[in-house]
């Protein structure tokens, strides 16, 4: 994919990269937030060139929705690639402390440089980036809650950017929003399933059908248990949505089952981790 060069690069991706590139000069540490259910598909590979030379923390969010064993393999892989991965649930205070620790570690070298010169260490400058819906705003909110002050203007910069200041770091409060990947349809499908992007050319009915195929193949028991479905129903794929509608009392009137709502329910409950905790990207 990378060999194809820049000319096919979608315009929105180019624009996002340019915006991030402009800001990156001010930044010491990049925090890329990815969704731990899609550790590859939610990560931006083009960013790797732009962020070279910076310390890179990889926040692998939504661990409460993903399979811990597979996530742990991805964590090791990213460690080997030079990232500082932090697997976390951004709604869990202890996990936020792990991210704060990662920030400390990332800043240590720079701090020592100042100290060696007999200077007071300058605060580390951080920027949070990631595709939509991975938890960037949640993370900014969690980190800024601890901040002593939020300052509007940083002298020396022409553009007034909001920096959130704590005792040890400053956080650029506008996250770099990267568009999700569109060039690979399997990745796009996975991102649609976790709610990170909408697929224009795929109806929710088609998406639900693909999800059902995946669940039958990989998580049959979990599906059966969740909706109290018999083996006979699972064998007959068309009947699964009817079974779900029946179990959940989704009716159209005159006793007819509401299949549309059953499909949407399956998508929603999968996205919320209520059927099974998954990792959709295979490690290789
Ligand atoms: N279960 C769970 N939900 C999370 C976690 N982190 C964030 N969320 C939820 O995910 C949704 C998206 O979070 P945001 O912080 O708005 O994500 P974002 O990256 O800022 O999204 P955009 O602004 O659309 O780019 C919200 O409903 C959050 O509550 C997590 O670790 N676990
Ligand atoms: Mg946001």
Per-residue pLDDT tens digits for 46-104: 888 888 889 999 999 999 999 999 999 999 999 999 999 999 999 999 999 999 999 99
Per-residue pLDDT tens digits for 123-139: 999 999 999 899 999 99
Do 260 and 244 contact (CB within 8 A), yes or no? no
Q: Whose CA is nearest to atom 32 of ligand 1?
A: 62
Max distance between CA atoms of the chain, in angstroms, equals 81
- Give 240 Cα–ligand 2 centroid separation in angstroms: 35
- Give 9 Cα–ligand 1 centroid separation in angstroms: 27
Domain 203-271, CATH: 1.10.1580.10
pLDDT in the model for residue 1: 37
Token couple for 37 = 């259910």
Do 82 and 55 contact (CB within 8 A), yes or no? no
pLDDT in the model for residue 146: 59
Token couple for 95 = 């996990």
How much of the chain is in helix, strand and coil states, percent to nearest 5?
50, 15, 35
Domain range list for the chain: 2-177, 203-271
DSSP characters for 191-219? HHHHTS---TTS-HHHHHHHHHHHHHHH-
2-177 under CATH 3.40.50.300, yes or no: yes
Q: Which residues have their alpha-adjacent CB atom under 5 A from ion ligand 2?
A: 136-137
Provide CB contacts within 8 A for 75, sequence distance 6+: 60, 85, 87
Residue numbers of the chain with a pLDDT score lower than 50? 1-7, 155-158
**Which residue matches tokens 């800024």?**
144
């Amino acid at each position: 994919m990378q060999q194809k060069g820049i000319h096919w690069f979608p315009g929105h991706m180019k624009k996002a990269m340019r915006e991030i590139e402009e800001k990156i000069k001010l930044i010491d540490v990049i925090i890329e937030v990815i969704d731990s259910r899609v550790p590859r598909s939610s990560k931006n590979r083009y960013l790797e060139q732009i962020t070279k030379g910076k310390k890179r923390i990889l926040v692998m969010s939504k661990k409460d929705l993903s399979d811990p064993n597979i996530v742990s393999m991805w964590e090791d892989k990213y460690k080997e690639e030079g990232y500082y991965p932090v697997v976390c649930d951004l709604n869990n205070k202890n996990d936020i402390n792990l991210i704060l620790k990662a920030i400390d570690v990332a800043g240590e070298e720079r701090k020592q440089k100042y100290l060696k010169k007999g200077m007071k260490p300058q605060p580390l400058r951080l920027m949070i980036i990631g595709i939509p819906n991975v938890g960037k705003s949640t993370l900014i909110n969690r980190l800024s809650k601890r901040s002593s002050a939020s300052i509007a203007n940083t002298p020396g910069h022409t553009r007034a950017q909001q920096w959130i200041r704590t005792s040890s770091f400053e956080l650029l409060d506008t996250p770099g929003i990267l568009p999700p990947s569109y060039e690979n349809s399997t990745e796009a499908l996975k991102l649609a399933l976790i709610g990170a992007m909408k697929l224009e050319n795929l109806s929710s009915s088609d998406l639900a059908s693909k999800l059902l195929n995946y669940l039958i193949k990989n998580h049959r028991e979990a599906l059966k248990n969740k909706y109290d479905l018999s083996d006979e129903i699972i064998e007959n794929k068309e009947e699964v949505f009817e079974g779900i509608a029946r179990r959940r009392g989704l009716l159209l009137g005159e006793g007819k089952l509401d299949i549309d709502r059953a499909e949407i329910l399956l998508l929603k409950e999968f996205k919320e981790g209520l059927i099974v905790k998954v990792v959709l990207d295979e490690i290789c």
